[in-house]
Every structure is written in C-alpha cells, then in structure tokens.
A and B are shown apart, each in its own frame.
Chain A
C-alpha cells in the first residue's frame, strides 16, 4: 500500500466517483432486476405486478407496519452483523441459528430463576444480555476450537452445531427441566420473567398503538461497535487483513489462529443477542417462536456487503418485504413472490457487485496507466480500496 508516501488528502478529495458510482448503483440495479423478475413471475401467474407492488407499498408503510418493520429489522440486523463479522475474516458462521437459540434459552432460564429474586429488573436485564452473549460465543467457540486445533471447516461444524444446539434446546425445554406449561396450552416455555425485567417499548411511530421494541437501541449500538471495531481498532485491522489475504497477514505478524478464534467468539457473542428483543420486549419467556433467522441473516449480510450501514438498509428492506407480503394473500396474490424477490435480490447483488468491482478496477487501471505515462507528483491512484 502506497498510502504512506501519498500526501494527506481531504476526505472529499479522496472520494473517487468513478470508483464509487458503480458500487452505489449496484444495489439499485440489483433491486430493479429482482423487481423485474418477480414482475415476470406475477405476469405469468396472471396478476398485475403494479397492483401487487402498490398494495405492498401501501400496507407496508402504515404506522403499524412501520413498527413491525423496525422490530423485525432489529433482529435481522443483529443476526446479519454476527454473520458479517465472520465474513470479514472469510469465516462462514452458518451457526447463528443454533447460537442464539441456545443463548436465548439459557439467558431466559437464568433471568427468570428464583435465586435472582433479590435482583432489581435492570440488573436482570444486564445479566440476561451478558449470559446470552457468553453462551452464543461459547457455542461458536466450539466451532472455532475445532477449526484451529483440528482444521475442521467451520461451515460443516457450525451447521452440525445448529442441530446439536436444537436438540439440547429440545431436551432442556421440557417440563422436567427448564420448561413450564400453562394449563390447557400446548406450548412449553421457560418461566415468565418478572415484570420489572421487561424492556419497555419506545413509541417511535405516531399513529400506531404498538411501540418499537426497546432493544432497537442495542441493535444500533451493535452497529456502531461493529463499525468502530472494523475501522478503528488493531483487532479490526488484523481481522480484515486476514480475511483479504491470510498469507500476507501472517507474514506481517498477525496470528491467524487467534484471529479465527476471536472472530468466531465475537460473531457468536453478537449472535447471542438476536433472540433478546423478543425475550425482553415481547414474549418475556423463551418460546418455540425463537429461531429461524440464521439463514435469513446470511442473505442480509451478503446484500449489505458486510458494511454496518449496508446491513441496516438490507435489514429494513427484508423486513419491509416480509411485512408487506402479508397483504398479498388478501389480494389473492401468491406471496411466494416475495421469496422469489428476496432470492433474486441477493443473487443480483452478488453479480452486480462483481461487475461493479471489475468496472471500477478497470477505471482505476486506466488512470494508473495515464498517470504513469505522463509523469506527475500526485495521482498515486493505486490505493486499493477495501472490497468487502
């Protein structure tokens, strides 16, 4: 990297539109392609795409829908950041699902445990959060240790740990162990948290009777923390360096094994938070409703290109699609169209970014070529921008 020699340039000067523009256009183009493909599917099934999209927009922007979208994207965001931390280091943490289910269960059980009766609600909430992060990190750590010591691919081990975690949850969530069951009900849950440990909502959206869950604040903090970690800490730098080129990272003194361990522990720790919004803000107990976001999160992380802001936008988009899909049934439009749209969006984004990367690289090469042929002091344009 030749940045060392380059004179300091202002932020605005460093913005290179010829490089940036393709990257900004890529997601927009991807969305349009996805909309186009879903429109084709709609036309084939004899439905009017415009009517479908407009009723989605109409329903999806009602106050109640906005609340629901924010609540959903809170969960999506945290889960996708957990996945993205792994991605940055070239690790596929497919085990977010198992990590947060196990974490939520243990945290819920401890949070409602009678031996904590002396504790004020605030303390319980803190304890629940800490325990959830620790359990999530522990479960991801199992995969990390396997990888570091035995070379087991984390793709395989995290998937298998999902199943094992699911079975442990199934074992523990019975009335013999951590579960309780209301009379006449078929649902087994952990005991309900004491009222003072419920996280109250925030009346963010005027016109809606329901509140945005308080945990949205934690999601924002996770995002800020992720941004700070990546761009402003030694750990974040080492993480990105190992992800981009493990060999050169090792050559420059990064302990690759330790980075794998750190990245997985961090990823699992964040994953442990995924179920807490529902636990603290809605259900107040672990219920069978927890789980299932692990794979959604991978799509969202891909769509958001692992960037803190990108993931936020992708989460909001996903939540909007999920919410808006509900109206389609009422309009007699198969809502599977949303699944098609989500799938094509991710695919199109991957393709579009690949194209954008090539385009901007070509533009860069041209400029470097020009700069070399006519000697000048400036224009050391080979700052390789950091691809996600």
Chain B
C-alpha cells in the first residue's frame, strides 16, 4: 500500500550536473553512462508484501532492464520530517539523480516539507514523489494513481462472490488516499448489487503516524470483527497489516482481497487460498517509467496519474478464484476506460 516508503531513486547521468556539483571522476572513463539509482523506504519498508514491495519490484526492473546501479534506503521508526529530509539530501548530494520519494509521508508541508526542501536544496536533481500531488516544484514529478478505479473492480468481484450480501473494507489509515480505495470499492460493489452492505473500518489516523499500515494484529482483530458480523469478503488497503486480515479470513474460512502487489504471489503459502484477488497498484510501473523517461530526457514536472487506461491500476487473477467472473469484470474495466462509468474518489460520507 502506500505508505511509508520513500524511494529515493537517483541516477547520475554523466553530463548531468549532479547536485552538489561533484560527479565522481572514476565513473567517467570511456564516456560510458553510469547511472546510480537509489531507493529509500519509510517505516514498514521492504518486506511488507504490498506497497513497499511493489516499489521494490520497480527498482529491481530498473536495475535489470535499464542496467543501472540502485540504492535502497530504509527509514527509522518514529523519525521526524527532518530525518526524511536528511535522507533525501543524502541521496542527492551523494550524486543520485533522479531521486524518487515513494509515499505521502515524505510530502509533509507543501512548502517546507521533506520533499519540497530537498527539491530546493538540490535544484539540479530530478525528484519524484509517489502518492502526493500537493507539493509542486520545477524539478519534482508527482506520481499518483487512480486507486478508486482498481478498487471498483475488486469491489465488483467482492459483490459477485459474496453470499451474505455483506462485505468489509479495512483501511490502514484514515487519510484521503485510502478513502479513495474505499470509495471505489463501495461503488464497484453497489454497481453489482445495489443493496449490498459495505462495512468500512480504519486502523489508524495521521495523528498516530498511520501506525495501522504496519500492525498485523490490529488488522486481524478488525477483520475478525467483520467476519463475525456476517461479512464474507474483506478488502484491505492496509499495507503490512494486510497479513493479519488474511490470517483472520483463514481462521474464519472467509475471503480477503489484497492490495498494491499481487498478494497471492507475495503471501505465505498457507494464506494463498483465502486471497480472492488483489487490487494492483503498479507502483513498480511508475518507478520504472519515471526512471526510464528521466534517462531519456523526458522528465515532466507536476502530476502524472496512473489509471486503468495506463495500466497503473488493475486486479490480479492468480489463484483462479475469479475465472468465472473475469469477463464481467473486464466489461466494467472497459466501461471505466471508455468513461461510461465514472468512479467516485471520495466515499459518500466524506
């Protein structure tokens, strides 16, 4: 899920003035292009099997397909905005360019937050931030996703598979970003079955530093509660807490929907059979595309939205649980792409 990750990807292309003005001479022999790409995670980090790992997958592709050096930096628990800024600055002053910050946690204040300050401090470095559109700078690209569109499709899948007429949604943190998932999910479920009941629950708020993205026990308790009240499919947009939701589904013999990565592939073998599908948020595509474009001199400042059309979001079919309804889902998908269905990005209740 989205969360706490910052990916700092930086590549120093020869001939591009590195921030800090130092490009190491050792790289320049033979006129070969040496590009260093770094990735720094926020709390949760690599291994959440979800959002962060999706970013990591993108970086892997950068490394393999583009043949670039990559660097991943992890964040500390309870760190301040200043620590985040230090990390970004460390990357750009060490010659990484571009630098990608993955996760809205790195945005902070739009004028003085970590990404805004870093972009100011290293004007020659190209930055990108994932999941934030509030911070603007001439050397900053905002990479966002149409999560509501992907969530619409898994919402439809949930409604098609639900026998009780009751489904659940668990969000990691009560922020606008995660509310987009809820809004799309509810819309999708209701498109299939107008009278379906959708139970939302959020595990944390900004005030507790969105700890709900990394709290599997809390995710499990919340999901158990929903299953006990009659829900038989629960969609989680809760990053590392999602594992708890899967465990609850396993214990209660119900179904769950994964998020960001194809969690059928990333989860432990014993949990695979409860995963109906996953809403794919192709952070990997965004990371890869950004680095590729930047390398080709096609950097664009401002917001780029990765939606269904651009293959920025979608749903997974591994596990085969959707085989019988896939054609139906693809119909919805086409209608969204064609603009026949407009998916809301805010839940009805705000």
Contacts and interface: CB of A to CB of B under 8 A. Distances in A.
Interface in B266-283: none
A335 B40 CA distance: 13
B207 A288 contact: yes
A114 to B, nearest CB: 20
Given A282-B81, A289-B81, A182 B209 contact: no
A330 B90 contact: yes
Contacts of A172: 207
A173 B108 contact: no
B176 interface: yes
B262 to A, nearest CB: 25
Nearest to A170: B207
B78 to A, nearest CB: 3
Contact of A284 (B87, B110, B112, B121): B112
Interface string B26-46: 000000000000101000000
Contacts of A72: 82
Contacts of B78: 291-293, 296
Nearest to A72: B82
Interface in A284-329: 284-285, 287-293, 296, 322-323, 325-327, 329
A215 to B, nearest CB: 13
Contact of A174 (B89, B121, B134, B205): B205
A72 B112 CA distance: 18
B65 interface: no
Contacts of A289: 80-81, 108
A251 interface: no
A189 B132 contact: no
Interface in A16-72: 64, 68, 71-72
Interface string A321-349: 01101110110000100000000000000
Interface stretch (B67-75, B186-194, B250-258, B289-297): B67-75
B226 interface: no
B12 interface: no
B210 interface: yes
Contacts of B206: 170, 173, 186-188, 288
Contacts of B108: 187, 283, 287, 289
A278 interface: yes
A322 B76 contact: yes
Contact of A187 (B72, B89, B104): B104
Find the residue from A189, A287, A335 having the highest chain B CB count within 10 A.
A287
A244 B332 CA distance: 73
Interface string A201-236: 000000001000000000000000000000000000
Interface in B196-211: 204-210
A273 to B, nearest CB: 16
Given A68-B86, A283-B109, A183 B134 contact: yes
A185 B205 contact: no
Contacts, number: 112
B89 A282 contact: no
B176 A173 contact: no
Nearest to A339: B76
A283 B133 CA distance: 19
Interface in B76-96: 76-83, 86-87, 89-91, 94
Contacts of B72: 329
Nearest to A275: B80
A186 B207 CA distance: 12
Contacts of A296: 78
Given A185-B110, A188-B206, A283-B112, A329 B74 contact: yes
B100 to A, nearest CB: 16
Contact of A329 (B73, B77, B82, B205): B73
B131 interface: yes
B104 A186 contact: yes
Find the residue from A184, A209, A283 having the highest chain B CB count within 10 A.
A184
Nearest to A338: B76
Contact of B86 (A187, A282, A283, A323): A323
Interface in B107-145: 107-110, 112-113, 121, 131-135
Nearest to A175: B350
Contacts of B91: 330
A244 to B, nearest CB: 33
A121 interface: no
Nearest to A209: B121
A219 to B, nearest CB: 16
A185 B76 contact: no
Interface string A167-184: 001101110000001111
Nearest to A172: B207
A187 B107 contact: yes
Contacts of B133: 184-185
B1 interface: no
A194 interface: no
A333 B2 CA distance: 26
A23 B322 CA distance: 69
A293 B77 CA distance: 11
Find the residue from B71, B104, B207, B210 having the highest chain A CB count within 10 A.
B207
B7 interface: no
Contacts of B112: 282-284
A185 B207 contact: no
A285 B207 CA distance: 13
Contact of B177 (A183, A186, A284): A186
Given A185-B104, A283-B112, A292 B77 contact: yes
B207 A64 contact: no
Given A185-B110, A282-B112, A287-B108, A166 B208 contact: yes
Contacts of A189: 109
Contacts of B40: 329
Query: 6 shortest A-B CB distances, which residue pairs?
Result: A292-B78, A185-B134, A184-B133, A184-B134, A170-B207, A186-B104
Given A169-B208, A186-B175, A282-B81, 19 more contacts: A68-B82, A169-B207, A182-B109, A185-B133, A186-B104, A187-B108, A187-B109, A278-B81, A283-B81, A287-B108, A287-B109, A288-B207, A288-B209, A289-B108, A291-B78, A291-B209, A293-B78, A325-B76, A326-B90
15 contacts: A170-B206, A185-B132, A186-B104, A186-B175, A187-B206, A282-B81, A284-B109, A287-B81, A288-B206, A288-B207, A289-B80, A292-B79, A326-B86, A330-B73, A335-B74
